[in-house]
Amino acid sequence: MSFSIEGKKILITGGARGIGGESARHFARQGAHVVTLDARDEEGTQLAKEATEAGPGKVTYRHMDITKVADIRAGVDAAVEELGGLDAVFNAAEVMLLKPAEDTTLDDWNEQLTTNAKGTAYTCQAVFPHLKERGGSIVNLSAGVALTAGPINSASFSASKGSIISYTRTIALEWAQFGIRCNCVSPLVKTPLLDEVRAAMSEDDRVAHERFFEKSVPMGRLGDIDTDLAPVFVFLASDASKFITSQIIGVDGGLVPSR
Ligand SMILES: NC(=O)c1ccc[n+]([C@@H]2O[C@H](COP(=O)([O-])OP(=O)(O)OC[C@H]3O[C@@H](n4cnc5c(N)ncnc54)[C@H](O)[C@@H]3O)[C@@H](O)[C@H]2O)c1
pLDDT at 197: 86
Ligand 1 site, CB within 6 A: 14, 16-20, 38-40, 64-67, 92-95, 115, 141, 143, 186-189, 191-194
As a dihedral over the C-alpha atoms of residue 174, residue 64, residue 110, residue 259, rounded to 10 degrees, the angle is: 40
Among protein residues, the one whose CA lies closest to atom 3 of ligand 1: 188
- The Cα–Cα gap between 97 and 110 comes to 11
Among protein residues, the one whose CA lies closest to atom 44 of ligand 1: 187
- The Cα–Cα gap between 60 and 109 comes to 32
**DSSP assignment of 78-131:** HHHHHHTS-SEEEE-------B-GGG--HHHHHHHIIIIIIHHHHHHHHHHHHH
CB 216 within 8 A of CB 210: no
| pTM higher than the cut 0.95 | yes
pLDDT at 43: 98
The fraction of the chain above a pLDDT of 90, given in percent, is 87
Question: What confidence tier does 210 reach under pLDDT thresholds 50, 70, 90?
Answer: confident
Query: What is the CATH code of the structural domain delimited by 9-190+225-250?
Result: 3.40.50.720
- The Cα–Cα gap between 91 and 168 comes to 11
Domains of the chain by residue range: 9-190+225-250
pLDDT at 46: 98
What are the pLDDT digits (tens) for 62-87?
A: 999 999 999 999 999 999 999 999 99
How would you list the strands of the sheet with 88-91, edge to edge?
59-63, 33-38, 9-13, 88-91, 136-141, 180-187, 248-251
Strands (DSSP E) found in the chain:
9-13, 33-38, 59-63, 88-91, 136-141, 180-187, 248-251
| Residue 81 CA to ligand 1 centre (angstroms) | 25
Among protein residues, the one whose CA lies closest to atom 36 of ligand 1: 14
Among protein residues, the one whose CA lies closest to atom 12 of ligand 1: 92
Furthest CA-CA distance within the chain: 52
What are the pLDDT digits (tens) for 162-178?
A: 999 999 999 999 999 99
Residue 99 burial (C-beta neighbours within 10 Å; 0-12, 13-18, 19+) = middle
What are the pLDDT digits (tens) for 14-63?
A: 999 999 999 999 999 999 999 999 999 999 999 999 999 999 999 999 99
pLDDT at 1: 65
Query: CA angle 178-179-185, nearest 5°?
Result: 120
Please give the number of the atom of ligand 1 that sits closest to the Cα of 96.
43
Please give the number of the atom of ligand 1 that sits closest to the Cα of 116.
41
- The Cα–Cα gap between 27 and 146 comes to 27
